[in-house]
Structure 1
Amino acid sequence: MPLKVLFVPILGDGHINPCIGIATQLIADGHRAVFTANDVWRPKLAAYGIETVELANSNVTDDGAQRMMSLGIIGGASPIEKARLESGHAEFWTKHAQYMDTQLAGLLPAIRPNVIVVDQLVTLPSVVLSGIPCVWCWSADPLVMLDDERAPPGLSGLSAAGDPRLWHEFRQMVRDVKREKWRAFNDWVVGRGCEPLPEHCFYSPSRYLHIYGYPLELDYQDIRPLGRNYVRFDNFQRTERHMTFAVPPDLAAKPGALIYFSFGSFCAVDVQNMRRLIAILAKSPHRFIVSMGPKHKEYTLADNMWGAKSVPQLSVLPLVDLVITHGGINTVTESLYFGRPMIAMPVFGEQYDNAQRLHDKGFGIRLDAYKCSEEELLAAIKTLLNDKALAERLAEVSQRVQTDNSLAKVSQLLEDFVQNPRKYID
């Protein structure tokens, strides 16, 4: 039976793009995909054949980046220093949830989906109260998805091979910072008619089927196996058949390896740091394709570079030899899909975890986005480009991921879940 699947993502590239990957697979398999969206995203979604319902909302990508700059979340502070700012972050997402909850309470009776896919950071009572089967799609790393004492805490960037005492200290500090915000949020959820949330948690993990995109080679299931309501995919990668890219002739004519440099739609708003990194990369003998971000008009690239506000990443990655990234999950999973080594320079949030995991597993090098020296960055480029053994390992990972094509199984999973939710949730 064809399903009508409602997607409720946060309106930012890092959240919507994975949902597009899932939706396009569902559409190809004969299902309907409907997104809650605004005027910014509606035409972009239409290019993939995705239906939308109106959601009055601002552009979270732009507003969110500026907000995080003002809070100090985007900047040179350490993960633990930024974690102390989580109270303000939690307050923002609480207000966002309350807004979304009001919107959905009015929309759900008219849409009447068979299943809802949410990509949010906190629970939405209207979804819970609807009684409609719900899948939580995680466009964050597995440590953010599930806090488990057997693994490092999410957002910490601490190594899975590190000292568990440091895990405990970080985890406890975050709980202390968020405690009052959690209590207020829980009171609101209960007031809406839902059951109380688990302590320290802004949603009830056991209520949902969770799906997440993280390659087996990076996952943490070796140290903390997951329950049956968690299903891993290697990625939620979309196809961009309507977008093409060719290396500009001037750049193609220059010598050296071809390197892709992207700090995503958020981290690139720190123009001062982008200028610093561009000045270092200008001294490299290699060539760079740069995704410059929303403030692309405020800095200039060097002669060995070409860039634009945004570039079609999935068309660029097959052409390059190395990726310099902030460590966002989409770039990490997409780079591994194409077998590309990475220099991961995390700026905030789950990027720290992804960068450390790449480093620990030997698929790249983690550097400090704000403190790395010219010598460190240029040496890391040289090291990775010359590592033939790593190139062979990455080619094997790429072949496995592409051959398995795990996303092709998502339609069957959702069909099964709708027909038999108890198979996944007690």
Structure 2
Amino acid sequence: MEQKTFAFFPEAAFGPALNSVGIAQAITALGHKAVFLSDPGFVSVYEGYGFEAHPVALSEPMPPEQMAKFWEDFINGHIPNFSKKPIDQLDNYVKECWEAIVASATWAQKDLPGVLARIKPDVIAVDNVILFPAIKQFGVPWVRIISCSENEIEDEAIPPHLSGMGENDREGHAAFRAKFNDVIQPIHDAFNAFLAENGEEPYPLGQFFEASPHLNLLLYPEQAKYQREKPLDPARFQYLEGCVRKDEPYTVPTFGRNNDGPLLYISFGSLGSGDTELLKRLIALVGTTRYRALVNVGDYMASYTDVPENVVLGSWFPQPSVIPQVDAVIHHGGNNSFTECLYFGKPAIIMPYVWDGHDNAMRVEETGHGFRSERYEWSDAELIAKIEACLTDPAIAAKLKTTSAHMQACEGPKKAARLLASLV
């Protein structure tokens, strides 16, 4: 077999990055070469998994450590907005996010042509929410990976992306779409001007990317999919039924107490760990219960004192090795956390704060795999009741058992690798 080169270009966030790592691991196992196009601040992430990574400037050049903290600082600056409803985040967090994303695509166009010419990939896989003209124009098959909620590929019959709305709230869907388009109009106009400068046709209002004519990969499993008005063509759209990477093993530590108690894993992702006041509240609550908890506090370990004996803090956990060993998960609704819990059959309570976390929180409850929770407006009794239901409800357990068996049988990363390899 002739070895081919597959280039992966995830956005600069750990969810998309680690999802692509899982696929790249499977591509390598087929005998091909996987390389990464990377925000300079993420190069070390891919190198840590043994992959070659080529930096692509997505913003004005700055020291790598400053680059790596850009989105962390961005998120922390918006903590006051986390308590708002998704529609009320449109003219603050979402607006500023899209401004930064459009700027990143503009910056990338300076580097990408030269980087691609050096790498000479046979296939390019992009996990992002925006078009990079250089990739579309390079002349090899390009693939869009949708590692966020599947409603990133819009359909009039399903809730709009980022809305966190239920399937049947058609009036709410219309109001959200209207406000999104109103807020986004100036940013969208600027992006269309950038597309024109680079020989691309303008996109309709609200659209910043298109489906690939070659292949589009979605992470959602069958049991969580939306009922679309227009089903996606399987010749171009394939569901991976999850895409869980292989990570280093993890041994659950001995706790100071409650070693026979149910084990929780609490994580708001690499970016959400800046919400230290909420994590402190959860830690204090766990300290009064029969549970044990592993808590991801990111770079904020120094913020925590007087940690209960039934709680262990960590700056990072190899999540695919941790989740199989716990009894329930409290997380922010990032798509990797969402699909990993389903893949390993673990009930989740999702406390969303931004982006598709809102959609995944609603979806986990609508499909019977766990619960959505307000981020701040909950009582100790309410949260304990949800945890107990996660641990004891036979309907949730049965649903998770079926979903987990289905996802594990599908072997998402291997399926993705086979589909990518078929393009060459």
C-alpha offsets along residues 302-352 of structure 1, whole Å, 9 cap, x if unaligned?
221001111111111111111111111101111111111111111111001
Deviation at 1:110, TM superposition (A): 1.4
What SS does structure 2 have at the residue aligned with 1:35? strand
| Ranges in structure 2 where 5+ consecutive residues have no aligned partner | 59-63
Q: Partner of 1:286 in structure 2?
A: 291
**Which residue of 1 is the match for residue 9 of structure 2?**
8
Question: Which of 298, 309, 314 is matched with 2:315 structurally?
Answer: 309
Amino acid paired to 2:294: I
- Following TM superposition, by how much is the alpha carbon of 1:11 offset from its aligned partner in structure 2, in angstroms? 2.3
| CA distances 1:359-401 after superposition (whole Å, capped 9, x unpaired) | 0011101111111111111111112211133223312221221
Select 1:189's aligned residue among 192, 195, 198. 195
Report the 3-state secondary structure (helix = DSSP H, G, I; strand = E; otherwise coil) of the residue aligned with 2:414: helix
Give the equivalent residue in structure 2 for 1:423. Answer: none
| Partner residue, 2:108 | 100
TM-score where L is the length of structure 2: 0.92
- The equivalences for 1:261-340 within 5 A come to 261-300=266-305, 301-340=307-346
2:71 corresponds to which letter in structure 1? Answer: G
Instruction: Could you list the structure 1 runs, at least 4 aligned residues long, displaced by more than 6 angstroms after superposition.
Output: none
- Greater shift, 226-235 or 329-338, is seen at 226-235
Verify the 8 A CA contact 1:261 1:324 in the aligned structure 2: yes
Equivalent position of 1:424 in the other structure: none
Residue correspondence of structure 1 range 404-423 to structure 2 within 5 A: 404-418=410-424
C-alpha separation in 2, matches of 1:236 and 1:314 = 11
**1:32 Cα deviation (Å)?**
0.7
In structure 2, what is the Cα distance between the partners aligned to 1:259 and 1:204?
39
Determine which of 114, 123, 126 is the counterpart of 2:122.
Answer: 114
Cα pair 2:267 2:297 within 8 Å, conserved: yes
Residue in structure 2 matched with residue 128 of structure 1 by the alignment: 136
Residue of structure 2 equivalent to 1:77 = 84
Instruction: Please say if 1:147 is aligned against 2:148.
Output: no
Distance 1:390 1:281, change over 3 A: same
What is the letter of the counterpart of residue 189 of structure 2? R
CA apart distance, 1:232: 0.8
Identity of aligned residues (%): 31
Aligned match for 2:221, one of 210, 215, 218? 215
CA contact (8 A) 2:222 2:241 kept: yes
Residues 1:383 and 2:384 aligned together: no
What are the Cα deviations for residues 240-285 of structure 1, in whole angstroms up to 9, with x where unaligned? 1xx2211112357633111111111111211122222222222222
1:47-86 equivalences under 5 Å are 47-56=48-57, 58=64, 62-71=69-78, 75-85=82-92, 86=94
* Mapped pair 1:232 → 2:232: no
Indicate yes or no: 2:206 matched with 1:200: yes
CA distance in 1, matches of 2:290, 2:262: 8
What's the counterpart of residue 159 of structure 1? Answer: 166
CA 397–103 in structure 1, closer or farther in 2 if over 3 Å, else same: same
Distance in 1, Cα, partners of 2:81 & 2:34: 33
Partner SS state of residue 298, structure 2? coil
| More displaced stretch, 185-194 vs 34-43 | 34-43
Q: Residue 18 of structure 1 aligns with which residue?
A: 19
Counterpart of 2:143 in 1: which secondary structure?
Answer: strand
Once residues 403 and 355 of structure 1 are traced to their aligned partners in structure 2, the CA distance between those partners, rounded to angstroms, is 25
1:231 shift after superposition: 1.2
Q: Contact between 2:155 and 2:229, CA under 8 Å: does it hold in 1? A: no
What pairs with 1:340-419 in structure 2 (closer than 5 Å)?
Answer: 340-418=346-424
Paired with 1:5 and 1:185, the residues of 2 have a C-alpha distance of 28
1:174 and 1:235, CA in 2 relative to 1: closer, same or farther beyond 3 A? same
Is contact 1:234–1:407 with CA below 8 Å preserved after alignment? Answer: no
Counterpart-to-counterpart distance in 1, 2:122 and 2:55: 19
Q: Secondary structure of the equivalent of 2:131?
A: coil
Asked if 2 retains the 8 angstrom alpha-carbon contact of 1:5 and 1:33, the reply is yes
- Summarize deviations over 1:130-187 as a string: whole Å, max 9, x none: 222110111201112x121111101111011x22011110111101100111011101
**Distance in 2 separating the partners of 1:11 and 1:170:** 26
1:317/1:335 contact within 8 Å kept:
yes
Shift of 1:296: 2.4
What's the C-alpha RMSD, in Å, of the aligned pairs? 2.0
Residue segments in structure 1 that go unaligned for 5+ positions in a row:
419-426
> Tell me, what secondary structure is at the counterpart of 2:423?
helix
Q: What is the SS of the residue equivalent to 2:193?
A: helix
Contact persistence 2:143–2:212 (CA under 8 A): no
Equivalent of residue 95 in structure 2, options 80, 87, 94: 87
User: Which amino acid is the alignment partner of residue 32 of structure 2?
Assistant: H
User: What count of residue pairs does the alignment treat as equivalent?
Assistant: 414
- CA distance in structure 1 between the partners assigned to 2:108 and 2:342 by the alignment: 34
8 Å contact kept, 1:198–1:204: no
Q: Provide TM-score, normalisation by structure 1.
A: 0.92
1:129 and 1:194 in contact (8 A); partners too: no
Partner of 1:179: 185
What amino acid is the match of 1:148? D
1:61 shift after superposition: 5.7
Report how far residue 40 of structure 1 moved: 5.1
Q: Is the 8 A contact 2:255 2:310 kept in 1?
A: no
The Cα offsets for residues 46-67 of structure 1, whole Å up to 9 and x where unpaired, read as: 3433222234564666321221
